[in-house]
Chain A
Amino acid sequence: MRKQGFSSIINLFKRPVLIFMVMLCFLPVLNLNPYVYHIVTLALLFASLAVSWGILASAGQISAGHSTFFGLGAYFSYFAMQYYNISFFVAVFLALIVADLAAFSIGYLTFRYGVGGIYFVLCTIAFSAFFSELFITFREFTGGSLGVSLAIVERDSFYYFTFTSKIPYYYAAITLFILCYLTVSGLRVFMKRLSVIRADEDLAYAIGIDVFKYKLLALLLSATFTSLAGSVYLVFIRFIDPEGVFGLWFSVEIMTVALLGGSTPFGQLLSAFILIPIGEVLRAIFSGVSAGLNLLIYGLILALIIAKAPEGLSGLLKRRGS
């Protein structure tokens, strides 16, 4: 029975993804420059973010405010760990609950009151801006604009999931992505229904789909994974600030990676592994000027995608394949 369960999970993986993941798992063996693992971890986090953004996008709702859930995940994990000495694993769960509550409120309000299309996008931006300002306000807890550092006493602690080496985070990021991936490829019926909702809401109603419920579920699922990524980010980078984690730029980053990736998780993976290293390399080479170049590149890529290939990388791959 056990074996059957395992092989059915393996079957959920498309071959390219499986190969990629296995390769990543063995990469630490090569003992490369730690910076490489740093970049890969970040790329994986963004890939997970892109996939989870994609869940909501599959339901037809484009969000330019996903940083909200990331920030909530990061900050509330921080609060739990820093102030209450709660274990990372529990903190993650608590932060998740907060993010889901926020998602539920946002979803309930916008879907119930029929806020759709571009107004939904605006609403998501407004929510992230709201939280950004809110968190800056309460300086004592959040460090205001300067941000906070996670200060854990022990050097290597599994309890707090803080280590001197990058490698545990590396595997955490891999795990997170696999989780996202399995969810998206496993919940086939769910994702199918979302795509009906995206294509034609009236049709969805006409075939008996509870549009409101499914949109809300999509949002909750998306927020959950985004929050998880936020928590991992916290212990990985150990520094967060309101503008960084709640900022519009971050939301746009997520969106760009996701849009470049197209509709398949493998596309997102490729997209993240292209964009994130570019950003990091620019940062390393040009330091001061890099931020501007980064913005320019992301902007151009985003514009190109929208103009030429709305399907992103997966669309291009599909066309090549067939």
Chain B
Amino acid sequence: MLGMYAVYWFRTLWNIYPMHGAFLTSLLFLPLGFFLFKGVFKPLLSKPHLNQLIITIALSICLQGIAQLLWKTDFKVIRFEVGRIEVYGASVSILYLVILTIALLSSLLLWFFLMRTHIGIKIRAVAQDAIMSELMGIKTEKIYVLNMLISFLLAGLAGGLLICIFPAHPAVGVEFGLFAWVIIVIGGMGSVIGALLGGLLLGFIYVAASYIWSAELSLAIIFAFFIATLLFKPRGLFGAKARV
């Protein structure tokens, strides 16, 4: 949400080209993530997960409040057309293609980072067993900070890209956040490929169902699907880890 607004500001206030704005935002979010971690999350690391969840909800509400104060509740849009091209007989917006490409590239980069690099292995180790990792010499706190930074980087990027095709309003972060959770659960926790495929799957379902019935019903269907997955197939489609 904040990412979307940031790029909105860049465009409207300083007329920065949205694409550049998006990358700029993602970089700006790095220090933001760092400070938030130190200030908000670090003290809670030892507390039960539930506390952490509620704090994130609280944080989200605070940010929404700030957003409402700064930008009101109406929808903010960026007008940005780059033209369309023909792909197999269907007219597709170049903008969408560009965004799609960037998204795919970042996913692949992330996958590569997590699976093939040294640090990536450390991250996965901590995810599986934090205590053991600590004992093996991995500095778990640094890993957490790193996770946070990567997460904020990608979120900032995503927000910046999204503003080009969706309107922004304070609650939009929560909406997409919930979708993120749905995708993670359905695609399988801990699997980048799962997230990617899960996202694609959900995207298709959403568009298809919206076309046949309505947007809201398709959302209802997606949530129902999410609940079913949580109950019956907690590992999702590709998840390796079992849920706790």
Known: A130-B227, A133-B223. A295 touches B178 (CB 8 A): no
Is A214 an interface position by the 8 A CB rule?
no
Closest CB-CB distance, A191 to chain B, in whole Å? 20
Residue contact A137 to B216, C-beta cutoff 8 Å: yes
CA distance A283 to B87 in the complex (A): 51
CA distance A278 to B219 in the complex (A): 34
Is A291 an interface position by the 8 A CB rule?
yes
Q: Collect the chain B residues with CB atoms within 8 Å of residue A90's CB.
A: none
Contact with A along B203-230 (1 / 0, CB 8 A): 0000000000110110110011011001
Which listed residue (B51, B65, B72, B231) contacts A297, Cβ 8 A?
B65
Residue contact B53 to A118, C-beta cutoff 8 Å: yes
Q: Collect the chain B residues with CB atoms within 8 Å of residue A252's CB.
A: 57, 61
CA distance A123 to B44 in the complex (A): 23
Is A125 an interface position by the 8 A CB rule?
yes
Residue contact A109 to B231, C-beta cutoff 8 Å: yes
Is A10 an interface position by the 8 A CB rule?
no
Residue contact A296 to B65, C-beta cutoff 8 Å: yes
Residue contact B50 to A126, C-beta cutoff 8 Å: no
Q: Collect the chain A residues with CB atoms within 8 Å of residue B231's CB.
A: 109-110, 113, 115
Is A276 an interface position by the 8 A CB rule?
no
Determine which residue in A110, A122, A125, A255 has the highest number of CB atoms from chain B within 10 A of its CB, and name it: A122
Residue contact A307 to B224, C-beta cutoff 8 Å: no
Closest CB-CB distance, B169 to chain A, in whole Å? 12
Q: Which A residue's beta carbon lies closest to that of B69?
A: A292
Q: Collect the chain B residues with CB atoms within 8 Å of residue A303's CB.
A: 40, 55, 58-59, 62
Determine which residue in B40, B61, B170, B232 has the highest number of CB atoms from chain A within 10 A of its CB, and name it: B61
Known: A126-B226, A137-B220. A300 touches B50 (CB 8 A): no
Is A117 an interface position by the 8 A CB rule?
yes
Instruction: For chain B, residues 65 to 82, give those with C-beta under 8 angstroms from any C-beta of chain A.
Output: 65-69, 72-73
CA distance A294 to B66 in the complex (A): 10
Is B1 an interface position by the 8 A CB rule?
no
Q: How many B residues face the partner with a CB closer than 8 A? A: 46
Is B135 an interface position by the 8 A CB rule?
no
Q: Which B residue's beta carbon lies closest to that of A251?
A: B57
Instruction: For chain A, residues 113 to 166, give those with C-beta under 8 angstroms from any C-beta of chain B.
Output: 113, 115, 117-119, 121-123, 125-127, 129-130, 133-134, 136-137
Which listed residue (A126, A134, A295, A310) contacts B68, Cβ 8 A?
A295
Q: Collect the chain A residues with CB atoms within 8 Å of residue B57's CB.
A: 64, 252, 302
Is B26 an interface position by the 8 A CB rule?
no
Residue contact B224 to A130, C-beta cutoff 8 Å: yes
Contact with B along A277-310 (1 / 0, CB 8 A): 0000000000011011111111110110011001
A119-B243, A133-B217, A288-B72 given; 5 more Cβ-contact pairs under 8 Å: A122-B185, A130-B224, A133-B223, A292-B64, A293-B65
For the complex of A and B, the 7 pairs showing the least CB-CB separation, nearest first, are A292-B68, A296-B65, A295-B65, A299-B61, A299-B62, A302-B58, A292-B69
| 28 pairs of residues in contact across A and B, judged by CB atoms under 8 Å | A64-B57, A109-B231, A113-B231, A113-B232, A123-B230, A126-B182, A126-B226, A126-B227, A127-B223, A133-B217, A134-B217, A134-B220, A136-B216, A137-B213, A248-B174, A252-B57, A288-B72, A292-B64, A292-B66, A295-B61, A296-B62, A298-B65, A299-B60, A299-B62, A299-B64, A300-B62, A302-B61, A306-B44
